Each structure stands twice: as structure tokens, then as C-alpha cells.
Amino acid sequence: MSTSSILAQPKTIAVSSWREEGAKPFVQINQLTKNFGEFSAVNSVSLDIYKNELFCLLGGSGSGKSTLLRMLAGFEKPTSGQILIDGVDMANIQPWERPVNMMFQSYALFPHLTVEANVAFGLRREGLKSSDVKKRVVDMLDMVQMGHLAKRKPHMLSGGQRQRVALARSLVKRPKLLLLDEPLGALDKKLREETQFELINIQDELGVTFVVVTHDQEEAMTLATRIGVMDQGIIAQIAEPHQMYEYPNSRFVAEFIGNVNLFEGTVMGDERDSVTIHCPDSNSMIQANHGISCAPNQTVYVAIRPEKIRISREKPGTDINTSYGVISEVAYMGSQSIFKVRLTSGKEIRVTQPNFARDMGDRLTWEEAVYLSWDADSSVVLIS
Amino acid sequence: MSDFTPPQGLPSKGKPSRLVRLWTRLRTINMGRSAVITIPSLWLGIFFFIPFLVVFKISLSESAIAIPPYTAMFAWNPEDAYLTIKASFSNYLFLFQNDFYLDAYLSSIRIAAVSTFFTLIIGFPIAYMIARSKPTMRTLLLSLVILPFWTSFLLRVYAWIALLKKNGVINEFLMSSGLIDHPLIMLQTNFSVYLGIVYTYLPFMILPLYTTLEKMDITLLEASEDLGAKPYQTFFLVTLPLAVPGIVAGCLLVFIPAVGEFVIPSLLGGSNTLMIGRVLWDEFFLNRDWPMASAVAIVMLVLLVGPIMFMRSRSKREEV
């Protein structure tokens, strides 16, 4: 996994309605809970999704993200709570009546119908004229570049082609809200990357609101306008991708999105815009610029991303935010190198360095003693 | 196979003889594979094809008071070295000219078709329910479907007599509850034959239906609903088309034995229940007309192979 793609700039669209004060959310989820017996799959989740958003629900298996999606589609009845889509309460609205379409993880293409008939299935249920149905099916298949395979049955298609048909079938009804369950999960890496950008383009073009469920944080980072990280049925954090990466609100989110080095420590001094933390694992005091509220002697965690740490043989000028240790592992990844440095306390720190030049001369190597340093701006202090 | 040397004693000419070529081929065939194919082929040959030929041969002879009770087909005259083959098609001619047999065939097919239809109507919801129940429940429900097989088929048909007869359980109950004044005539009607066939063959319908419905992907039904299909539309547009292989298999498994059914019509049916199985029995054991009975059996076989071929070609087309 490359750090560069995690840091890829999130798509900037003209209006970021979720940033506006008083904007009306398109989908409102209020205190939504779903229990399966004793187990609470979704636990009192509240979430607003705005028009034209590409919202990613990110989480591991069993985090409740799929259950939440299925409740939006109407396949699961909430135990309690409320879902409003475009201001309409969905409580008593059946799946076939909702202005929502879903692209299934398995694609769920009807095996007995051709590509054409699969895409036309939803339109026929609306009672459209057959000439209109035909036109919209042709247009949609052309858009996903599947027009030439319209007469095929799904089992004669490759995984990528099936994915396109599934997308066409879910979009052809022009839903207000499109739900995508692990849309790219079954594709190989290269195809997945291509399709990610295609999805963004389609979403832009059609102005449909997308809710994507994924367990792949890279995918979420590339696709989403905003990400909601879910853990054990609750939403851990909702933020734009770069916000999520740079300012995680908990250790869980920091570790879930990308790689991170965590130091446990005690607050020694709290000033207006910086805090000094004593970490037994680090060799020096850690100073972080931030604005969290914490009290002296409180236990906190300092999170530092691997690419924000400098590594050198020479001792840095300052004593704050430095540490030293021995390189225990080196991995050359092409665009960057990953170092694992064992501090004197025994803690391993992960550091990534871009490979600026083709020949970097005297490379750092195994068992070398090195100094680590970082800026006060680079670390995030976490309470939980 | 250039280094191949023919076994001794086989003729060796410039061109390898047919025997040599056969030997070469046999050597190249994987022994395990040929054994797997040979055993069922032998089974079919000995227990199906040869008896079929014997019956066919008997159908071409004439009834006679002898042991066996039919005329010989081959007559060898040693004096002038003449082999006479006598093949009589009079049985077939009689069969097609006589309305009785034709009626019996048509009536059998009708009774079998109607029974198959009702088995499907009753079996489908049961199979669907089992396929959609909890995995732990499925085993129990399936064993309930198979449970009747633990009792003798004959016994179960006799049990229906006790239920359906004039002073049987059902009539007694209806009379005592005051719903009817006179006992219903249920036994020895076509109704009781339909009932008996549907009851007996229901498991043969449920099991193949269950297998297809059970492996059907539920997300397909969700996808259908998601695309705006109401539940009944989902049933007719998705569930039913995907269950076709199971429906075909179940219908064949019920229809074919039902056409030739003998026990149920003779125990539950009345004198006006005409079925080819009974005609066959009567020809063999009452008239002792083996050739006629054989002709009836051969025609029935041809009639049944027809629909099987049709269904098979249909299901092949579906797959493409």
C-alpha cells in the first residue's frame, strides 16, 4: 500500500454543501439502531448526507456498515430510529417504492436475462413505453461502454464487465440516491483504480448522491467527498479524507486510516497553542501544536504519521520532538523507502522517506544508529 | 505410437488392420475412465436394453396356448436349411385401430398430467418454505418430506382407502360434525386416483425443487425488489424462471411413473378409471396375451421418451 495514493487530493467539487451552515441534508439518519437478538449491529447512528455527495462508509467486517446500507435500501427494518430521504420518512416505505437503487457486492445480475434485459428490468417496472425503455438502456450501456455486449448473458462476461452492467442497472432508473456495496471489491487492483476514477466521473456527470460501503481505506480516500468510519456499530468519525488522515479523533481512526506511530504519554505542560507531553517510550519530551483540552497529568496518545518523521545520522539541533534508535528493517518500495527504527525503549517506529534522487549515495542501512525528529505541527494528540 | 508392435498372431499388413487400430486405441484409453463408463453401460445394456429387445420381440409374435404363451419368431427348417422369421405387426395394428387402447393412453396421460400439475402447485410452496427456513430447520423439514418412504408404499395407499371409504375416517368426521348428511363418494373415483398420485409422488417434486430454490441467490430477489418489482412480480420474473430446472426435473420424476401407475388406480380407482398400467396388467395376467401386452408396453415407452427428449432439449436451450 503506497502512502502516495492515500494522500491523493480528495475530489474538490464546486459546492461542498456539507461545509455550508444551515444546508439541508438530503439523507438524514437519526439515532438509527439495528439489533440482531442481543447483538447491536448498528447502534444509535446519526448521520447527514448531502446532495451530490459521494459518502463512504468505511469499516472492518462486522462494523455495521453493510447493515446501515441495507436499512437505507429497505432490506432491513431498523429496530429504532429514523431515516429521511429527501425529507420523506422511509419507515413504512417498501424497498420497491424507495427512490433508491443499490449496486450489490455480488452484482446480483439476473443470470437468466441478457445484459440488455437486466438493465431494462427496473425501467419496465415503472411502466415506461418500450421505445423509451430501449433508448434509456442503450444510452446507459453506451455510457458504461457495454453497448457491444448487450445481448450477452451475465455468465459470458468478465468481472469488470459485470461490474459495469451492475452499475448501469442501478443508475438507469435515475435514483436520487445510489447505494454501492463494496463496488470494486471483486476487481483486480489495476481495474479497481481505473474504475474508481470512472465512478467519480459518472457521479459528477449525473449528480446522483452516492453512498459507498467499503472496507478498503485507500478506496474510500480516493472516492469520497466525506468518509464515515464505523466501528462496532457506531460512527467513530465523519470527515473529509484529508481531514480524516491528518486529524483523526481517536487511536482507532488514526490506526485504521493509513499507518501511524503512537506514543502513550502524560501531559506535563499545557499552553495556549501547544502541549508538552512526557512519553516514556520516546527519548525526549514531545511538543505538539494543537487545541485539545486536556489537564496536566492526563494520559494522552501522540500520533505521528511515518512520512512526517525525518531520519538522519546527525543529531538534530533541538532536544524536543527527537528520538534515536537503531534501524531494524529497511524496505525499498521504489517511490519511497520504509524504515523501522527500534528506539532504546524497544518501541518500533515506522518512518517513510521519499526517494528524491536516483542515487542517494550512502543509504541508511540495517543496524545503523539514527536520529528521528519531527515538527510540533506534525503530531496529533489523542485522548481516546 | 510409432514404436507400437502388434501382438503376435494379429495380421500385419502395410496398413494397420482394424483389429490393430482397435488394440492401439484400447491401450491409449485410461483404464479407470473406461471402467467408470463401462459399468453403467453394462448395467443399462443388461437390465434395460436387452429386456427391451426381448419385450419388443414378443410384441411381434402372436398369442398361443403354449409355454411360453406366444409363437416363435424364428423357425429353422433343417431339411431345406430355411430360416423363417415371422414378425407380426397385427398387435400394433389392433392397438391403433381399437379406441380402447388409445383412450387408455390418453386417459393415463391426462391423469398423470393433472396430477403432476397439482403436485407442482402443492410442492412449490413447500419446497420454497423449506429452502427459506433456518438451516437447522431444513434438515428436520426435509426428513419429514422423506419420512413416508419409511413405510411401504402399498400400505400407505391402503391407508387412504380407510380414510376415503364410505364409512371411513373423513366421512365419519364430516357426518358427526353435521357438515354433510350423506357420506361423500370419494373412493373409486378419479378424485381418489388424483389424490393418491399427488400424495405418493409429492416428495419427488419437492426434492428437486428444493435443490434449485435452496441454491438460488437471495440477493437476486433483493435486487429485483430494489429495481421496483413488487413481491409477486419478483416471484414471476426472477424466482420462477430460475427454478425452471427444478420444475422440469420434478415434473419428469412425477409424470413418467404416474403414466404407468398401476397400484394406485387399481386400489383407489373405480371401474371407469382407465389407465394404461391396468390395461397392461389385464393383458398379461387376465388375457395371458403376452404379445399384446408387450406391444402396449412398447408404445407406452415411446410415448414417454417423447416428452423426456422434448424437456431435455428445452432445458439445454435454456442454458445457452
pLDDT on residue A96: 93
SS3 B297: helix
Is the per-residue pLDDT at A4 higher than 80?
no
Give yes or no for B143 touching A (CB within 8 A): no
Residue A380 β-bridge partners: A303
Q: Is A138 exposed, middle or buried (0-12, 13-18, 19+ CB in 10 A)?
A: middle
**What is the nearest CA distance from A98 to chain B, expressed in angstroms?**
8
Locate CATH 2.40.50.140 in chain A: 259-382
Q: Do B223 and A108 touch (CB under 8 A)?
A: yes
How large is the average pLDDT for residues A220-236? 91
Condensed to tens digits (0 to 9), the pLDDT of residues B221-262 reads 999 999 999 999 999 999 999 999 999 999 989 998 999 888
Local structure of residue B80 (DSSP, 8 states)? T
**What is the nearest CA distance from A50 to chain B, expressed in angstroms?**
22
Give yes or no for B222 touching A (CB within 8 A): yes
Q: Do A104 and B229 touch (CB under 8 A)?
A: no
pLDDT on residue A9: 40
d(CA B142, CA B202): 12
d(CA B45, CA B263): 28
**What is the nearest CA distance from B231 to chain A, expressed in angstroms?**
9
Q: How far is CA B195 from CA A346, B92, B111, B262, B278, in A?
A: 82, 33, 11, 14, 18
pLDDT on residue A1: 37
* Chain center to CA of B272: 23
Q: Regarding predicted confidence, which is higher, A292 or B271?
A: B271
What residues of A are in contact with residue B239 (Cβ under 8 Å)? none
Condensed to tens digits (0 to 9), the pLDDT of residues A60-118 reads 888 999 999 999 999 999 999 999 999 899 989 999 999 999 999 999 999 999 999 99
Q: Do A110 and B225 touch (CB under 8 A)?
A: no
Q: Regarding predicted confidence, which is higher, A282 or A165?
A: A165
CATH of A3-99+175-254, one of 1.10.760.10, 3.40.50.300, 3.30.930.10, 3.30.70.100: 3.40.50.300
Render B157-225 in DSSP notation, one character per residue.
HHHHHHHHSTTSHHHHHHHHTTS-SS----TTSHHHHHHHHHHHHHHHHHHHHHHHHHTS-HHHHHHHH
**Cβ-nearest to B228 among A96, A106, A112:** A96
d(CA A275, CA A300): 11
CB A50 within 8 A of CB A18: yes
Write out the residues of chain A at the interface with chain B, using a CB-CB cutoff of 8 A. Answer: 73-75, 94-97, 100-102, 104, 106, 108-112, 121-122, 125-126, 169-170, 173
Is the per-residue pLDDT at A11 higher than 90?
no
d(CA A40, CA A126): 36
Average predicted confidence (pLDDT) for chain B: 86
Condensed to tens digits (0 to 9), the pLDDT of residues A131-176 reads 999 999 999 998 888 899 999 999 999 988 998 899 999 989 989 8
**Cβ-nearest to A73 among B226, B229, B241:** B226
Give the residue from A92, A81, A83, A85 showing the smallest Cα distance to A43. A81
SS3 B315: helix
Best of B217, B227, B232, B235 to substitute, by most chain A Cβ atoms within 10 angstroms, is: B227
The highest-level CATH class for domain A259-382 is mainly beta
CATH of B90-319, one of 3.10.310.30, 1.10.3720.10, 3.40.50.450, 3.40.50.150: 1.10.3720.10
Q: Are strands A177-181 and A100-103 parallel, antiparallel or unpaired?
A: parallel
Condensed to tens digits (0 to 9), the pLDDT of residues B279-310 reads 898 888 888 899 999 999 999 888 888 777 87
What residues of A are in contact with residue B242 (Cβ under 8 Å)? 111-112
Is the per-residue pLDDT at B79 higher than 50?
yes
Residue of A nearest to B320 (CA): A153
pLDDT on residue B26: 65
Residue of B nearest to A72 (CA): B226
Locate CATH 3.40.50.300 in chain A: 3-99+175-254
SS3 A39: strand
* The C-alpha cell that represents B112 in the structure block: 398423470
SS3 A228: strand
**Cβ-nearest to A125 among B219, B228, B318:** B228
CB A48 within 8 A of CB A27: yes
Q: Do B227 and A100 touch (CB under 8 A)?
A: no
Condensed to tens digits (0 to 9), the pLDDT of residues A113-135 reads 999 999 999 999 998 899 999 99
CB A296 within 8 A of CB A331: no
Residue A43 β-bridge partners: none
Q: What is the ipTM of this complex?
A: 0.81
**What is the nearest CA distance from A148 to chain B, expressed in angstroms?**
19
**Cβ-nearest to A173 among B217, B228, B318:** B228
pLDDT interval class at A219 (50, 70, 90): confident
Q: Is B122 exposed, middle or buried (0-12, 13-18, 19+ CB in 10 A)?
A: middle
d(CA A13, CA A302): 33
**Cβ-nearest to A95 among B219, B220, B225:** B225
Q: In degrees rounded to 5, what are phi and psi of residue A141? A: -65, -35
**What is the nearest CA distance from A109 to chain B, expressed in angstroms?**
7
Cis link prior to B135 (omega < 30° from 0)? Answer: no
pLDDT on residue A285: 82
**Inter-chain CB pairs, A–B, below 8 Å:** 58
Query: Taking the domains of chain B in order of start, what are their residue ranges?
Result: 18-85, 90-319
Cβ neighbors of A230 (< 8 A, separation 6 or more) are A45, A57, A58, A59, A63, A64, A65, A68, A236
Give the residue from A188, A150, A192, A165 showing the smallest Cα distance to A107. A165
What residues of B are in contact with residue A125 (Cβ under 8 Å)? 227-229, 233
How large is the average pLDDT for residues A300-327? 88
d(CA B308, CA B320): 19
What residues of A are in contact with residue B229 (Cβ under 8 Å)? 96, 121, 125
SS3 A379: strand
Is the per-residue pLDDT at B30 higher than 70?
no
* The C-alpha cell that represents A192 in the structure block: 479497481
